[in-house]
Structure 1
Amino acid sequence: MTTVTDLTLLRDALGHLKDREQVAERLLDSSAKHSFDPDKELDWEAPPVDGKWFWPPELVSLYDTPLWKKMPEEQRMELARHEAAALASLGVWFEIILMQLLVRHIYDKPLTSMHVRYALTEIADECRHSMMFARMIQTHGAPAYPVSKLNHNLGRVLKTISTTPGSFACTLLGEEVLDWMQRLTFPDERIQPLVRGVTKIHVIEEARHVRYAREELRRQMVTAPRWEQELTRISCGEAARVFSVAFVNPAVYENVGLDRREAVAQVKASGHRREVMQTGAKRLTDFLDDIGVLRGVGRKLWQRSGLLA
């Protein structure tokens, strides 16, 4: 039953929402000024630079573990190369899901609206990003690392049944942790030039995607029915659990000559790794907490994922 207090809170919350069309118009202006064609912007023919990392060592899953301390530098750098390929593979998987979620979101929206036009612009961005990540994997000679069959099928379910607020919450989950890592990567002169170029393009263009998703999720958590808000809290928490598990593909350890079981165990026990993941997610979890997503069962699921202290 809706009370007078509920209606007052709803009215106040609606008053703080930004106009959807104005937000989209600003994002479209930014897209016109700051969009990139990776095929033309990046030097895909240049060979890797000897002695440079493919991913910042501090962001490699085994960093500062007992196993890492025993590994020779060459093996550490090889692990970084494979983890960069695994993260790029994860990014392609996620962006394909995101594109389908965006298409579903705009299916019944006014086709001439700025909001729809920006969604289509973002889909075009994500197409380029997916091709860019795949080409980077191929160029650097590492294998692609698809997610597990279970997570692949969970993604299939998500893109089929997700509610609108659930879609945008999961969008932010997939974008913001990787974005935090990439913001550390592209200015880092220890890193391969191609990796720096790829991450810089992605960071610049993803900033618009995050803004779009945040504004829409904030709106949805005010206007959606209570049952949908609660379902969003639970589905977002479960997505956080799946995402944290999928973030590093255990096959990378075998491919660089490590014992898979030992490596996975040490990553799970690593205080450094836990701090990296929670720091990477903090900007997002602060936002989700502010708009009422991190409550009840959903909050417990986030804590179990290791992304929230």
Structure 2
Amino acid sequence: MTPQTPAAPTTRPAPPVSDREDTARRLLASSARKSYDPMIEVDWDAPVPADKFGLTPEWSTLYGTPLWDEMSDEQKIRLTKHEAASVSSVGLWFEILLMQMLLRDVYGRDKHSRHVQFALTEVADECRHSVMFARAGERLGMPDYGPIPFIHKAGRIWGGFFRGANAYASVMAAEEILDMMQRDFMRDERVQPVTRTVSKIHVLEEARHIRFAREEVSRRLQGASRARLAAERVNTATVVYFVMKSMIHPDVYTNAGLDKKRALEAARTNTHHHDVIRTSGSKLMNFLDSVGLVGGPSKVLYKKVHLL
């Protein structure tokens, strides 16, 4: 895996926005044709192979560092299992925030509308995904990681302020971040079967959710004032920053049997991992730029998590 660092996003015309009800009708039809029940689709009783990674090794925060080269194959597999469990637990945490936002957003809307009905369908999907993520970490025999306590508590407060374009932009960005990792996980035969199947289900169903969120962001930012765009940029970038920072809990290194201080420093300075994030996140950043959500102080936050 040799990622090439893309050029920073440049302002481009905003993507076209289709009719809200028309989009919802198409997404509802897609949901009816292709949805999954993880309790059935995932073989939760299958053995956990001792020689399979928890996630694509090139996505490990230590891959490409001297510390990674010193580790035995067993240590690398153990580390990636802990990293996979951390990613799943953060995905679960954010799914819960996402469901709260969607339910608040449709609370006062016409429940006969297809838009509201797809939002409720998405909530049902996210409920299944949350259980799926929880079961995946449990099946690998890993701790229930989640974000660090400060971010977890902040999420409880911040979730109550999820509103409008910022809410949908934040949801879309977080889902895209998971999506860019899981597209690699699901194709990689070196990876644990449970991780691959969970990733496949999430990627296929999240494609609809991302489409829904992208169009809502574009729709709700049409005609936005410069002041509002500036506020939305910072809000969205702040969410992305904390989601990215939360993906790998610091305790994964201790639990994998590594020197935590050394591992954290190796991960912090790992240019290979930074390049993987930057390359894989280019689609997300190009979209955010196209709707005016990249600029000013937000660029500082995106650079700190290596998306720019």
* TM-score (norm: length of structure 1): 0.92
- 1:57 aligns with 57
Letter of the structure 1 residue corresponding to residue 305 of structure 2:
S
**Deviation larger for 173-182 or 221-230:** 221-230
Inter-partner Cα distance in structure 2 for 1:80 and 1:34: 30
| Structure 1 residue 143: Cα displacement | 0.9
| Structure 1 residue 13: Cα displacement | 7.2
Inter-partner Cα distance in structure 1 for 2:42 and 2:54: 16
Inter-partner Cα distance in structure 2 for 1:224 and 1:122: 27
- The structure with more radius of gyration: 1
Question: What SS class does the counterpart of residue 121 from structure 2 fall into?
Answer: helix
| Structure 1 residue 226: Cα displacement | 4.7
| Structure 1 residue 224: Cα displacement | 4.5
Q: Deviations over 1:36-76 (max 9, x none)?
A: 01111121111112312221110111101111111111000
- 1:73 aligns with 73
Letter of the structure 2 residue corresponding to residue 19 of structure 1:
D
Question: What SS class does the counterpart of residue 179 from structure 1 fall into?
Answer: helix
Note if contact 2:28-2:118 (Cα within 8 Å) is conserved in structure 1. Answer: yes
Inter-partner Cα distance in structure 1 for 2:248 and 2:266: 13
- 2:137 aligns with 137
Inter-partner Cα distance in structure 2 for 1:189 and 1:18: 38
Inter-partner Cα distance in structure 1 for 2:212 and 2:229: 19
| Structure 1 residue 228: Cα displacement | 3.3
- 2:37 aligns with 37
**Deviation larger for 238-247 or 25-34:** 238-247
Inter-partner Cα distance in structure 2 for 1:261 and 1:304: 20
| Structure 1 residue 295: Cα displacement | 1.7
Question: What SS class does the counterpart of residue 296 from structure 1 fall into?
Answer: coil
Inter-partner Cα distance in structure 1 for 2:178 and 2:39: 22
Q: Does 1:292 align with 2:289?
A: no
| Structure 1 residue 243: Cα displacement | 1.8
Q: Counterparts of 1:178-257 in structure 2 under 5 Å?
A: 178-224=178-224, 226-257=226-257
Question: What SS class does the counterpart of residue 62 from structure 2 fall into?
Answer: coil
Question: What SS class does the counterpart of residue 53 from structure 1 fall into?
Answer: coil
Question: What SS class does the counterpart of residue 186 from structure 1 fall into?
Answer: helix
Inter-partner Cα distance in structure 2 for 1:106 and 1:188: 38
Note if contact 2:101-2:163 (Cα within 8 Å) is conserved in structure 1. Answer: no
Note if contact 2:105-2:163 (Cα within 8 Å) is conserved in structure 1. Answer: no
* TM-score (norm: length of structure 2): 0.92
| Structure 1 residue 227: Cα displacement | 3.9
How many residue pairs match? The answer is: 296
Question: What SS class does the counterpart of residue 102 from structure 1 fall into?
Answer: helix
Q: 1:13 to 1:191 in 2, by over 3 A?
A: closer
| Structure 1 residue 107: Cα displacement | 1.6
Q: Deviations over 1:191-243 (max 9, x none)?
A: 12221111111110000000000000011111445543322111111112212
Q: Does 1:161 align with 2:161?
A: yes
Letter of the structure 2 residue corresponding to residue 175 of structure 1:
E
Inter-partner Cα distance in structure 2 for 1:155 and 1:171: 13
Letter of the structure 1 residue corresponding to residue 247 of structure 2:
F
**Deviation larger for 30-39 or 258-267:** 258-267
Q: 1:281 to 1:113 in 2, by over 3 A?
A: same
Letter of the structure 1 residue corresponding to residue 42 of structure 2:
L
Letter of the structure 1 residue corresponding to residue 24 of structure 2:
A
Inter-partner Cα distance in structure 2 for 1:206 and 1:87: 16
Inter-partner Cα distance in structure 2 for 1:97 and 1:252: 23
Unaligned regions of 5+ residues in structure 1, if any? 1-11
Q: Which has the higher helix share?
A: 1
Inter-partner Cα distance in structure 2 for 1:18 and 1:65: 46
- 1:151 aligns with 151
- 2:116 aligns with 116
Q: Deviations over 1:266-287 (max 9, x none)?
A: 1111110101111222110000
Inter-partner Cα distance in structure 1 for 2:215 and 2:263: 39
Question: What SS class does the counterpart of residue 109 from structure 1 fall into?
Answer: coil
**Deviation larger for 157-166 or 80-89:** 157-166
